Amino acid sequence: MSPLTIVALKVALFTGNYNHIADGVSLTLNRLVGHLESRGYEVLVFGPHSDRPALKHAGSYVSVPSIPMPVGNRQEYRVPIRMGGDAARQLKAFRPDIIHLATPDMLGKSAIRYAKQAKIPVVASYHTNFCSYLSFYGLGWLEPMIWRHLRGFYKSCLQVYVPSQSMADVLRANGIVTDMRIWEHGVEADRFNPAKRSLEWRRSLGFADEDCVVAFVSRLVTEKGLDVFREVVQRLSADGVAHKTLFVGAGPMEPGLRAALPDAVFTGHLKGEALARAFASAEVFLFPSDTETFGLVTLEAMASGLPTVCADATGSKELVEPGVTGFLAMPKDVDAFYKATRAILEDPVLRQNMSREAAKRALLYDWETIMSKIEHFYEEAISEFA
C-alpha cells in the first residue's frame, strides 16, 4: 500500500456499543479510537449513554437516545433509536471527513442520510453475527428479514471491514456485495502470555498445583455455547477424567451453571492484568461458541499458552490449527468437544506442545499492524469517493 497522503482526518464513529458494556466489540472500538487519536486523527463517537459505564472510553463521546434491548432478556445492551437533535448539531459542527458505522441500526441509517447530504464517504465494520443469535432466543423466523436489512444497509457503504475470511464468506453468500476488507483483531502479547501464570492465585481459588483447569472465558450467555460446555464438563466428571472447571465472566446463565456444576469456580468479570492471570493459570480453553465473527477470547487464550478446543465455525476456525494449537469440533457436537478436551487433559506432552505452538501463533496478530490497516482503508475510501 502507498504511504498515507491524508493526515489529521476527522472520523465520526457510530456504534450501538461503546462504553456501557465491556465485550469484544466495545474493547476493539475503544482500541481503534485510541490508535487513531495517537496518529493525529480527530474522532467523535456517537452511541448510547450509560449512567454506570463498564469501561472508561477513549475519545470524545456524544450520547444518543436509546432503549434497553427489547428481546432476549438482555437489557444490559442498549439500542439507539435515533440520532437526536443535540447529536445532529454536534455532528454538523464536527464536519467529519468520513463516517464509520459499527452497528447496522437506526442510528447508522441517520448517519448515512447525513453523509449523503454532506457528500462524504461511509464505511462500516461488521462485529456481530446477528443471524446466528436468533435461534437462541426463538427468533429464527426473523432471519430472512435481518439479511434483507443488512443487504440494504451495507449497500450504502463503500467498504465493510470484516474480522475473518469465514465471516466475509457468510456475508457474500447472503447477498452482501459491498467491497469487503479483512480487518482482524489483535492481542496484547505483553499482557496475555504464559508468564502471567500464578500458582498463588490458583491456590486461592482452591486449585492444587497439579490440577488441570478447563476454562471458559466470556460472557455467561446462551449463545456462547455454554450448554455444550456444561455437558462436556459433566461427562468428564462422570468418566473420572481429572480436571477442574473455571468460569471467568458474568451473565444470566450463571445461576443455572452454578446449580449444574457445583464444584466449578466462578470469578465474575475480570479485565486487564487480572484477566491475563486467569487465562495463563488454566490448562485448556474450551469455547464451543459458534456465533463469533473473530474470536478474540480464543486469541487471548492462545497467547496465554492454552490449547484451545473451539467450534469449527466463523472466527475461531481461522485461529486454531487443529492438532497443533488445539482442536476444532463441529458446532453443538458434544461428543466431539468431549473427545478433544479429554485428549488434551490426558496427554501432558500433547498439552505442552500445543501450549507452545498456540503462544507462538498468537504473536502473528499484532494490534499496531492491524489497526494501521484502517488508516489505509480510510484513505482509499476517501480517494475513491472524491
* C-alpha 237, offset from chain centre: 30
Same domain, 379 and 347: no
Same domain, 164 and 15: yes
Same domain, 218 and 317: yes
* C-alpha 162, offset from chain centre: 12
Same domain, 45 and 154: yes
Same domain, 296 and 206: yes
Same domain, 265 and 324: yes
pLDDT of 2: 45
Q: How many residues does the chain have?
A: 386
pLDDT of 3: 46
Taking CA atoms, 46 is separated from 42, 85, 87, 379, in Å, by 13, 13, 8, 22
Same domain, 216 and 344: yes
Same domain, 381 and 277: no
pLDDT of 68: 72
pTM of the model: 0.84
Give the three cell numbers for residue 16. 450501538
pLDDT of 48: 87
- Contact at 8 Å (CB) between 12 and 91? yes
What CATH number is given to the structural domain containing 318? 3.40.50.2000
Residues 6 or more apart whose CB falls under 8 angstroms from that of 33 comprise 13, 43, 45, 57, 58, 59
pLDDT of 25: 84
For residue 301, what are the domain limits? Answer: 194-362
Q: Residue 2 domain-assigned?
A: no
Q: Radius of gyration of the chain from Cα atoms?
A: 21
Q: How many structural domains does the chain have? A: 2
Same domain, 89 and 104: yes
First to last CA, the chain: 19
Reading the chain (386 residues) residue by residue, the pLDDT tens digits are 444 444 579 999 999 887 767 677 888 899 999 999 999 999 999 988 777 766 777 789 998 887 776 665 565 667 777 888 999 999 999 999 999 999 999 999 999 999 999 999 999 999 988 777 777 778 888 899 999 999 999 999 999 999 999 899 999 999 998 999 999 999 999 999 999 999 999 999 999 999 999 999 999 999 999 999 999 999 999 999 999 999 999 999 999 999 999 999 999 999 999 999 999 999 999 999 998 988 899 999 999 999 999 999 988 999 999 999 999 999 999 999 999 999 999 999 999 999 999 999 999 998 999 999 999 999 999 999 97
**Sign of the torsion formed by the C-alpha atoms of 281, 311, 187 and 76:** negative
Q: Residue 261 domain-assigned?
A: yes
Same domain, 182 and 203: no
CA pair distance 10, 214, nearest whole angstrom: 45
Q: Residue 147 domain-assigned?
A: yes
Q: Which amino acid is at 302?
A: M
Q: Residue 4 domain-assigned?
A: no
Q: What is the DSSP letter of 198?
A: -
Same domain, 271 and 313: yes
Question: Contacts by 342-349 with C-beta closer than 8 Å and gap 24+?
Answer: 342/236, 342/239, 342/241, 344/283, 344/284, 344/307, 344/309, 345/212, 345/214, 345/236, 345/241, 345/242, 345/243, 345/283, 345/284, 346/241
> Dihedral, CA atoms, 346, 349, 350, 352, nearest 10 degrees?
110
Q: Residue 3 domain-assigned?
A: no
